[in-house]
Structures are given as C-alpha cells and as structure tokens.
Structure 1
C-alpha cells in the first residue's frame, strides 16, 4: 500500500522530470548555462532514506532524462554519482544536534547556509560529471569549467526559488513504515 509519503515523491518525480524535459530543455543561459532541475528530486528527498533506494532513484531519474535527451547514460551516471555522494555530504554538514529522523531537505527548516552548502556542492559534482562525460576530452577544459560553474549557479538559483515558493516553512512529519 502506498502512503501519502510515497505519493508525494512520485508526483515530485514526474513534475521535476516533466519540467526538465518540456520547459528547461530549451532554456540556456548565455549559450553555456544549463539548468538541470530534475536533480532537485534527489536533493529534496528525506534525509533518512535508504542508500540503496537512493542509488536506484538516482539511476531512475537520470535514465529517464537520458531517454528524452538521447545522451546514452550521461545523466544516469551523474545522478548515481550525486546519489552516492549525498549521504557523505549530509554527514559533513550534520548540525551539532544531528538531524531529526523526520526531516527532509527544506531551506526554511535547515537554514540558508546549510541549504546552499548542501545543494551547491552536490550540484557542482553532478554538473562536472555531466559535462566532462559529455566532452570526454580535456582540450576544452576551460570552456567545460565555465559551463559547469554557470550551470551550477543557474541550477542552484532555480532550486532556491523552488524551495521558497513551493516548500512549506514548517517542519514536515514523515511516517517511515
């Protein structure tokens, strides 16, 4: 039986992927800055999610985007990397009191500095993987580095806007059954 927790994240999966494919596919900033909003699905998952489940969801969301972008596994590989690194980044950013088991990633609950450090770091790793796997040569490394940085800032700004507009300022209670 799927509870309201599962339905919420299934809807988020389809919304972020649809937003990426239908709207953000053609939105490019200065010809080099891309917004990969679909990774917000992975970043906004609950903090206490099982690591294997997280890796599977990373592959699923990346593979779905790869099917529509015809990128032969680049987004799947980068999303699995993001899913693999997420628990390690969360451990580095653990507050003094630790995380509440019911917390999910929310800028209102965790604070600006925590959210920006968390999201910017993971977005940077994801985008570096995407763009270096895309070019596979280091002759255009400076251009690729520019694409990575501009795309990271662009994606991070869009994620902050999404958090401020659509995520509740109050702490959500999650039932893990």
Structure 2
C-alpha cells in the first residue's frame, strides 16, 4: 500500500470518527452505523403501504468503512460474500433494535446513500437515483475516494461508476424479510 493510500485511509478514518460522534451514530453489527434525522423531501409511498412525509423521523444508515476495508483482498465475489454475511448480521441487529429501542418507535423508514448499484431487494431495499445536482457531484467524488481508500477488492476500487443512490428500507419490509437473512446473500 502506498504512502498516499495509507495517509488517505488514516485521514478518512478520522473523518469517519468525527462523523460518528457528531451525528451520534450507533454501531449496528459489523458494517453499519445508525443515526436518526428528520426527512426533508416530498411524500413517498412504499409498496408495503408505508407513507413517509416531510419532517417524519427516519433512521439513517451509514457504512462502517473501516470494517469494510478489513474484509481483506480477494476476488470481487469472495469479498462480496464476506460483505453480504456481515451485512445480514447488521440488518438482523437493526431489526432487533427497531423492535425494542423506544427511541426508534417513531421511525418507519430507514435510509442510506451509497455508490453501490441497485440491489438488496430480497431484504426489502428500494433503490432510487439521487438527483444530479451539486450534492450528487460532491457525493460522487466522495464515494470514488472512499472506494479507492477502503474497498477491499481491486475490481471494486477501480470502478468508474461510483454514482450515489438512495436506499430505502421500511420497518415493515425489514421485519417481514429478516428471516430471509439467515443464509442467503443479498441480491
């Protein structure tokens, strides 16, 4: 690993630590953090009937970049299987926390932003593109830097299609599909 790569990894590690404290994130298993925010945007109706409206509480999902980087080198498939196993564990913990934590009782929808292409339907994730505006450009650059610094597989690091996407997961879809997380890889 080059000196520039190690320096960027250390700097982004500090940024992640600051972000974790600043937004009071909680660790959800090995690869996710959870925060809480107010939804800003148009009303959204999900296929399961969940309605998300302006100012509703949402759970914000964030990847634990250091844990993902620790997956190690290997083929994209091998790293993908390791990531899927850890993601299933984190989602099971999210489901458990959503059931018992009173601070999440008003959260009906969880949302995250990532550069990964649309996937996760088996768990109930709905993926939508982010509008191509200034924020989109900043996130695209940020995700390209993150994938260069943290992605464990060379094929993932070298991808040029790091475009931000919104991922939505309703509480009902998570509860309904958590049983599917036992041994299947998220598709």
TM-score range, shorter chain: 0.3 to 0.5
In terms of fraction of residues, the more helix-rich structure is: 1
TM-score scaled by length of structure 1: 0.35
TM-score scaled by length of structure 2: 0.33
In terms of fraction of residues, the more strand-rich structure is: 2
